[in-house]
Structure 1
Amino acid sequence: MTATHVLYLHGFRSSPQSMKARLVAQHVAQRHPGVTWWCPQLPPSPREAMALVLQGIADWPRDAMAVIGSSLGGFYASHVAAVTGCRAVLLNPAVDPARDLARYIGEQTAWHDPQQHFYFQPEFIGELRALEVAPLPRAEQVYAVIAKGDEVLDWREMTARYPGACITLLEGGDHALSDFETAHLGPVMAFVDPA
């Protein structure tokens, strides 16, 4: 399988300006200019975010697309993989964002632009619950990079969530995967295998 279309989904309060998103975009542009690349700015509403994504990839070839998601984007990527059957790369994926984000209801600032504000609504918790999927049926098509040193999410929950997946479990690391460019970009793109 070679991917002709690659989707990147950023995390909570993040954006297409995230370090990992920019590195993957740069890699695709430089080495695989024929590949369709899309990293949308996701709205705060999980329902709206998934509607935007599914509409955007509606005509993508299911057997030649891949999704990469980080943190909350990893949760969304799991949903996309369940719906489409495509390959998925999950970078410290959120496992139970409905539980974890309940304490963030209220005014929030964007990570890459603190001038940008949004309101995380109470109903977004139910929208997250509605996007939960059972363990992915094609676990061999899932690659997860999980850091034991993640200061936001529990690595035990993350690894338990994806039985049968190919998992790189880091002894240290952090939630952002600060060493992404040097240690993980190559293996991630090899798994995605762009044409």
Structure 2
Amino acid sequence: MQNRPLLIYLHGFLSSPQSTKCQLLRKWLAEAHPSIVYCAPQISPYPAIAAHSLSGLVESFVKSGECGPIGLVGSSMGGFWASYLAERYRLPAVVVNPAVHPSHFMPNYLGQTLTPYSGGAQEYRLTPADVDTMRQLEESLPHPLAARYWLLAQRGDETLDCREAEDFYRGQRQTLEDGGDHSFQGFARYCAPIIEFLFNP
């Protein structure tokens, strides 16, 4: 990687690196900032596995001694994982319509056979132990937060209440827009400012 900046994109619950925002940012970076390395891992819906694999990913980059500054972008559930990694490794993060307390909505999926929105053959079934693990991960985050964040949220989000995110990231940079939806309409407008925030503090 020759000390090139690294951007890690973290997708939402049951989503994938094929999601619209993930692919949009990948394409934009390839054209506007080809020097930035882009990494978008597939994230397990099982919180213990996700926490272990994502931590291992960041640590592998850090320990290699070859990558430059690292920035995080997380959408929805990926916003929680971005915050988890940002606090653990003191990294800047942009969180887009983030899930603040995933353990609150995970019980709705108990007992169901879950498949990724993007398709694929894998199936998942969450257990109460998974909810407990997520709750413990949430409680591990410090208050106030110690890392540097930019919250991007739209009040028209039909899935998550942006007021929770507004409160959780209080004291951090925030951009709250009226209207929109959970996918965050007009995300392309923020590609350049996101890079500025992450890599030119």
Q: Which amino acid aligns with 1:128?
A: M
| Cross-structure match for 2:8 | 7
More strand by share: 1
CA displacement at 1:116 relative to structure 2: 4.3
- TM-score normalised by structure 1 residue count: 0.89
RMSD: 2.1
CA displacement at 1:115 relative to structure 2: 5.4
SS at match of 2:43: coil
- TM-score normalised by structure 2 residue count: 0.87
Q: Which amino acid aligns with 2:129?
A: E
| Cross-structure match for 1:129 | 135
Runs of 4+ in 1 over 4 A off after TM superposition: none
Distance in structure 2 (CA, Å) of the matches to 1:25 and 1:155: 26
Distance in structure 2 (CA, Å) of the matches to 1:66 and 1:79: 13
Contact 2:157 2:180 in 1 (8 A): yes
Contact 1:92 1:153 in 2 (8 A): yes
CA displacement at 1:114 relative to structure 2: 6.6
Distance in structure 1 (CA, Å) of the matches to 2:68 and 2:100: 25
Please state if 1:144 is matched with 2:120. Answer: no
The aligned runs of 1:109-128 (5 Å cut-off) are 109-113=115-119, 116-128=122-134
| Cross-structure match for 1:155 | 162
The count of aligned residue pairs is 190
SS at match of 2:113: strand
- 1:137-163 deviations in whole A, cap 9, x for unaligned? 13xx20010111110111111100011
| Cross-structure match for 1:17 | 18
Question: Structure 2 unaligned runs (5+)?
Answer: none
Distance in structure 2 (CA, Å) of the matches to 1:115 and 1:51: 23
Distance in structure 1 (CA, Å) of the matches to 2:136 and 2:47: 9
SS at match of 2:196: helix
Contact 1:151 1:175 in 2 (8 A): yes
Contact 2:6 2:68 in 1 (8 A): no
Q: Which amino acid aligns with 2:157?
A: D
CA displacement at 1:44 relative to structure 2: 1.7
Q: Which amino acid aligns with 2:83?
A: S
Question: Structure 1 unaligned runs (5+)?
Answer: none
Q: Equivalent pairs: percent with the same residue?
A: 33
| Cross-structure match for 2:90 | 85
The aligned runs of 1:23-172 (5 Å cut-off) are 23-61=24-62, 64-105=69-110, 106-113=112-119, 116-132=122-138, 133-134=141-142, 135-138=144-147, 141-172=148-179
Deviating more after overlay: 5-14 vs 115-124: 115-124
Q: Which amino acid aligns with 1:50?
A: A
Q: Which amino acid aligns with 1:23?
A: L
